[in-house]
Structure 1
Amino acid sequence: MKYKQLKKALFQGNKINFAVAIFTMMLLCAANILTAFIFKGLSDIAIDGTMEELKRFVLATLLFIVIYVLISMWKTVAINRFNYKATTQYKKALFDKIIYKDINAFNNDITGKYISMMTNDVSAVESYYTLGNINIVYQIVLMITAVGVMLYLNWFLTICVLAAATIPLIGTALCGNKLSEREADISEKNAGFVGYINDIFKGFAVIKSFQAEVQIIKNFAKENKTLETAKKKRRTVANIINVVSLSASFIVTDVVCGVGVYLTLKGHATLGTVIAFIQLLDYVVNPIQELGPALANRKAAERLIAKAEDIMDEGAEKGNTDKIECKEFKNEITFSNVQFGYQEDQKILKSITTNFKQGESYAIVGPSGSGKTTLLHMILGYFDNYKGSIQIDGKELTEISSDSLHSLITIIQQNVFVFDDSIMKNVTMYKDFDSQRIDRAIMAAGLTQLVETKGSDYQCGENGKNLSGGEKQRVSIARAMLSNASILLADEATAALDTTNAQNVIRSILELKDMTRIVVTHSLNRQVLSQFDHIIVMKDGEIVDIGTFDELYSKKELFYSLVNVYE
Structure 2
Amino acid sequence: MAKEKTSVFDVTLFKRLLKFIKPYKTVFIGSLFLVVGLAIFGALRPYILQQAIDVKIKEKIYDGFLLYMAVMVGLLILEVIFQLLFIYYANWLGQSVVKDIRVKLFDHMLAFKMKYYNDSSVGVLITRAVTDMERIADIFGQGLFMIFSDILKMLVVGAIMLVMNVKLSLIVFTTLPIIIFATKIFQKYMKKAFEDVRTEVSNLNSFVQERVTGMKILQLFTRENTEYKKFKAINERHKKGWLKTVWYNSIFFPIAELLSSLTLGAVVWFGGLSAVTSGIATEGQLFAFVMMIPMMFRPLNQIANKFNTLQMGMVAADRVFKVLDTTSQIDDSGHKEKAQFRGDIAFKDVRFSYVKNEEVLKGISFEAKTGETIAIVGATGAGKSTIINLLNRFYDIDSGEIAIDNQNIKDFTLTSLRSQIAVVLQDVFLFADTIMSNITLNDTSISREQVINASKEIGIHDFISSLPNGYDYNVKERGVMLSSGQRQLISFLRAYVTNPSILVLDEATSSVDSYSEQLIQDATDKITTGRTSIIIAHRLATIQKADKIIVMDAGKIVEQGTHNELLKKEDGYYRNLYEVQFLKADVA
State the TM-score, normalized to the length of structure 2. Answer: 0.84
Q: Residues 351 and 87 from structure 1, CA distance in 2 versus in 1: closer, same or farther, beyond 3 angstroms?
A: closer
Distance 1:514 1:561 in 2: 32
Pairwise mapping of residues 160-309 of structure 1 onto structure 2 (< 5 A)?
160-243=171-254, 245-264=256-275, 265-295=277-307, 297-309=309-321
Query: CA-to-partner distance for each residue in 1:327-385, whole Å, 9 max, x for gaps?
Result: 35335333344444444565443443323333222333333333332332232323336
Task: Report the Cα distance in structure 1 between the residues aligned to 2:330 and 2:174, rounded to whole angstroms.
Answer: 54
The one-letter amino acid of 2:27's match is: N
In structure 2, give the amino acid aligned to 1:283.
M
Which residue does 1:77 correspond to in 2?
A: 88
Provide the rounded CA distance (Å) in 2 between the counterparts of 1:254 and 1:559.
95
Per the alignment, residue 443 of structure 1 pairs with 456
1:422, 1:447 → 2: CA distance?
16
User: 1:263-412, aligned counterparts within 5 Å?
Assistant: 263-264=274-275, 265-295=277-307, 297-317=309-329, 320-321=332-333, 323=334, 325=336, 327=338, 328-344=340-356, 346-384=358-396, 386-396=398-408, 401-412=413-424
- Separation in 2 of the partners of 1:456 and 1:331? 31
Does 1:489 pair with 2:500? no
Residue deviations 1:163-191, cap 9 Å, x none? 32122322333343443333333333333
Kept in 2: contact 1:38–1:61 (CA 8 A) = yes
Tell me which residue corresponds to 2:538: 522
Counterparts in 2 of 1:219 and 1:351: CA distance versus 1, 3 Å: farther
Q: How many pairs align? A: 563
Counterpart Cα distance in 2 of 1:134 and 1:52: 41
SS in 1 for 2:280: coil
CA distance in 2 between partners of 1:245 and 1:488 (Å): 70
Distance 2:507 2:14 in 1: 42
What CA distance in whole angstroms lies between the structure 2 residues aligned with 1:168 and 1:349?
65
1:510 & 1:309 partners in 2: Cα distance?
48
Cα distance in 1 for partners of 2:147, 2:454 equals 57
Question: Is 1:180–1:301's contact at 8 Å kept on the other side of the alignment?
Answer: no
Matches within 5 A, 1:24-63: 24-37=34-47, 39-40=49-50, 43-44=53-54, 47-49=58-60
Which one of the candidate residues 120, 131, 137 is aligned to 1:120? 131
Q: Specify whether residues 395 and 262 from structure 1 end up closer, same or farther in structure 2 by C-alpha distance, changes over 3 A only.
A: farther
Between the aligned partners of 1:401 and 1:382, the Cα distance in structure 2 is: 13
User: How far, CA to CA, are the matches of 1:486 and 1:124 in structure 2?
Assistant: 46
Asked whether the 8 Å contact 2:501–2:532 carries over to 1, the reply is yes
Secondary structure of residue in 2 paired with 1:519: strand
Which segment drifts farther, 81-90 or 433-442?
433-442
Contact 1:331 1:357 in 2 (8 A): yes
User: Partners of 1:190 and 1:515 in 2: how far apart?
Assistant: 49
Please state how far the C-alpha of 1:432 moved relative to its aligned partner. 1.1
Residue 460 of structure 1: aligned partner = 475
**Cα contact 1:3–1:309 (8 A) shared by 2:** no
Structure 1 pair 227/324, CA: closer, same or farther in 2 (3 Å)?
Answer: farther
In the TM superposition, residue 115 of structure 1 has moved relative to its aligned partner by 0.8
Residues 1:190 and 1:152: Cα distance change in structure 2 (over 3 Å): same
1:108 aligns with 2:123: no
Kindly tell me: are residues 93 and 254 of structure 1, through their superposed partners in 2, closer, same or farther at Cα, counting changes over 3 Å? farther
Letter in 1 for 2:515: T
How far off is 1:139 after superposition? 0.9
Instruction: State the one-letter code of the partner of 2:370.
Output: Q
Change (3 A) 1:562 1:130: farther
SS at match of 1:14: helix
**Distance in 2 of aligned mates of 1:245 and 1:491:** 66
1: CA distance between counterparts of 2:422 and 2:78? 63
Are the counterparts in 2 of residues 161 and 256 from structure 1 also a CA contact under 8 Å?
Answer: yes
| Conserved 8 A contact 1:168-1:292 | no
Whether contact under 8 Å (1:445, 1:474) holds in the other structure is: no
Aligned equivalents of 1:122 and 1:388: distance in 2?
A: 43
187-196 vs 269-278, which moves further: 187-196
Deviation of the 1:284 alpha carbon = 1.0
Q: Which runs of 5+ in 2 are unaligned?
A: 1-11, 570-574
**Shift in Å at residue 523 of structure 1?**
3.1
| Residue 551 (1) aligns with residue 565 (2) | yes
**Distance in 2 of aligned mates of 1:109 and 1:65:** 53
Secondary structure class of the residue paired with 2:281: coil
Q: 1 CA distance for matches of 2:395 and 2:248?
A: 44
2:330–2:393 CA contact under 8 A, matched in 1: no
SS of the equivalent of 1:13 reads helix
- Quick check: 1:510–1:517 contact (8 Å CA) kept in 2? no
| Per-residue CA distance 1:105-145 (angstroms, 9 max, x = gap) | 33433322211112221122122355311211211221122
Give the structure-1-normalised TM-score: 0.87
In structure 2, the CA distance between the partners of 1:530 and 1:87, relative to structure 1 (3 Å rule), is same
Say if 2:374 and 2:550, in contact at 8 Å, map to a contact too. Answer: yes
Confirm or deny that 1:472 pairs with 2:487. Answer: yes
Is the alpha carbon distance of 1:238 and 1:115 closer, same or farther for their aligned partners in structure 2, counting shifts above 3 Å? Answer: farther
Residues 318/427 of structure 1: CA separation in 2 closer, same or farther (3 Å cut): closer
The residue that corresponds to 1:504 in the other structure is: 519
Q: Distance in 2 between matches of 1:146 and 1:332?
A: 79
TM-fit CA distance, 1:279: 0.6
Within 2, Cα distance between the matches of 1:543 and 1:318? 27
Moved more, 146-155 or 160-169: 160-169
Deviates more, 1:337-346 or 1:408-417: 337-346
Letter aligned with residue 488 of structure 1: L
Shift of the 252–74 alpha-carbon distance from structure 1 to 2, 3 Å rule, reads same
Within 1, Cα distance between the matches of 2:367 and 2:262?
A: 81
Map of 2:6 onto structure 1: none
1:135 aligns with 2:146: yes
Runs of 5+ in structure 1 lacking a partner?
none
Q: Is the 8 A contact 1:116 1:187 kept in 2?
A: no
Q: Residues of 1 paired with 2:13 and 2:66: CA distance? A: 60
Out of 433, 436, 442, the position equivalent to 2:445 is: 433
Distance 1:430 1:139, change over 3 A: same
How far residue 263 of structure 1 moved from its aligned partner, in angstroms, is 4.0
